[in-house]
Amino acid sequence: MPGYELINKEEYLECRDVLKKSKTFFRMGFNPFRKGIFKVDTFEKKFSKHLNSKYALGVTSGTAALRVAIASLNLKPGDEIITSAFTFVATVEAIIESRCKPICINIDESLNIDPKELEKKITKKTKAVIVVHMLGVPAKMDDILKICKNKKIKVIEDTAWGCGGKYGNKFLGTIGDIGTFSFDHAKAITTGEGGMIVFKSKKTFLNAKAWHDHGHENNPKFPRWEDTRKSSGFNFRMTEMQGAVGLAQLKKLNYIVKKQKMNHDLIWNKIKSIPGISRRKYPTGSKISADALIIFVKNNDIAKKCRLELLKQGISTKILPEAYSWHFAGLWSHIKELYKKNFKNSLKESEKILKKSVSIPIFVKMKKSQINAIKKSLIKAVS
Ligand SMILES: *Cc1c(COP(=O)(O)O)cnc(C)c1O
């Protein structure tokens, strides 16, 4: 889990620059005051460099990142966007806010989109797919890209739970056309609230940059309020304080992913021989960011028992089973744009897999005693 465990002097010093030197919270302009300090700008450049992506844009949240990413594609109301049945509601909310139609499809045992389902659910109206690398494990990007390329469908990677993970030799978020990231307080790196979008195409990046800032082109030849206008838009601008914290956190990302992977492996090696436990499937070429370790048990009753036994030892679970209703589309009867009669039945396959899942949160700092307690609790629950 993450960056919040490591908030320290580095974050303080970056923020102090803003509070004591630039005294400017706005990400652009005010040049006579800010002493050359542009935290959001620098964060975007460094984030882009870290991931080996071409263009990056900071925004106010992971949800905003998705909304702005969709806006950059110039879709029409009613266009269909396919996404996973297992994700946070934000993915679907961003599609609805864009006046597009969300189509949630089944996952496989990787807990990400099943490429076979994707192929079946594409229609003439499908214009984009939002692939979610849920809880640190990559989706099957080779198969997904092949399908989408054939049909000229854009691929957005919701990398809220995959920052720092890789698929083959590429960072998650840089494989499709656009990648979105969240820096909320539970994610691998955090700015409190915040997000980032990375782009392959300069044109799409410029669309997004203008749209997230009321359509401002920020043409350097003009002062901001005599600036040229590209389109309508909204305000999803990141603040300098978020940018400052992001810069400090980004330096810790490699360490976070390395430690999480280490702890993930330590736990898995301890529990893998317990009868009745198997692990979520990792696609070939995965380099997980290890936000969580998700195991399959025999049924939902045992999954709930695992949660109770873990809680008794002071260990929580992460999303599954306790926050299942916020992350499985088949239960979102409160979203009228999505839910219709029998919708749940079309996602039976996902429901079956998710109900037997238990998600163990991975922290950067984990004690041996905690790892032993996980093993003890699981043995008790499954036997
Ligand atoms: C966290 C999350 C988001 C939203 O990010 P916020 O920064 O909280 O708005 C979107 N998608 C997924 C899969 C997430 O886990």
Rounded distance between C-alpha atoms, residue 1 and residue 318, angstroms:
10
Please tell me if the CB atom of residue 157 comes closer than 6 angstroms to any atom of ligand 1. Answer: no
pLDDT of residue 70: 98
Q: What is the DSSP letter of 336?
A: T
132 CA: nearest ligand 1 atom: 13
pLDDT of residue 342: 82
64 CA: nearest ligand 1 atom: 9
pLDDT of residue 1: 57
Residue 183 exposure: Cα atoms within 13 Å on the Cβ side: 26
Please tell me if the CB atom of residue 159 comes closer than 6 angstroms to any atom of ligand 1. Answer: no
- Residue whose Cα lies nearest atom 7 of ligand 1: it is 62
Please tell me if the CB atom of residue 62 comes closer than 6 angstroms to any atom of ligand 1. Answer: yes
Q: How far apart, in Å, are the Cα atoms of 104 and each of 74, 85, 129?
A: 21, 5, 10
Could you give the 3-state DSSP secondary structure of residue 350?
A: helix
Rounded distance between C-alpha atoms, residue 276 and residue 142, angstroms:
31
DSSP H helix total and E strand total for the chain: 15, 13
Q: Which residues of 314-328 are buried (b: 16+ CB within 10 A; e: fewer)?
A: ebebbbbbeebeebb
Residue 227 exposure: Cα atoms within 13 Å on the Cβ side: 16
Best probe residue, ligand 1, of 88, 134, 190, 291 (max atoms within 8 Å of C-beta): 88
87 CA: nearest ligand 1 atom: 13
pLDDT of residue 75: 97
Report the predicted TM-score, pTM, of the whole model to 2 decimal places.
0.97
pLDDT of residue 280: 98
Element (H, E) at 91: helix 89-97
Residue 160 CA, ligand 1 centroid: distance in Å:
5
- Give per-residue pLDDT as tens, 114-149: 999 999 999 999 999 999 999 999 999 999 999 999
Segments of the chain with pLDDT less than 70: 1
pLDDT of residue 219: 87
- Give per-residue pLDDT as tens, 6-37: 999 999 999 999 999 999 999 998 999 999 99
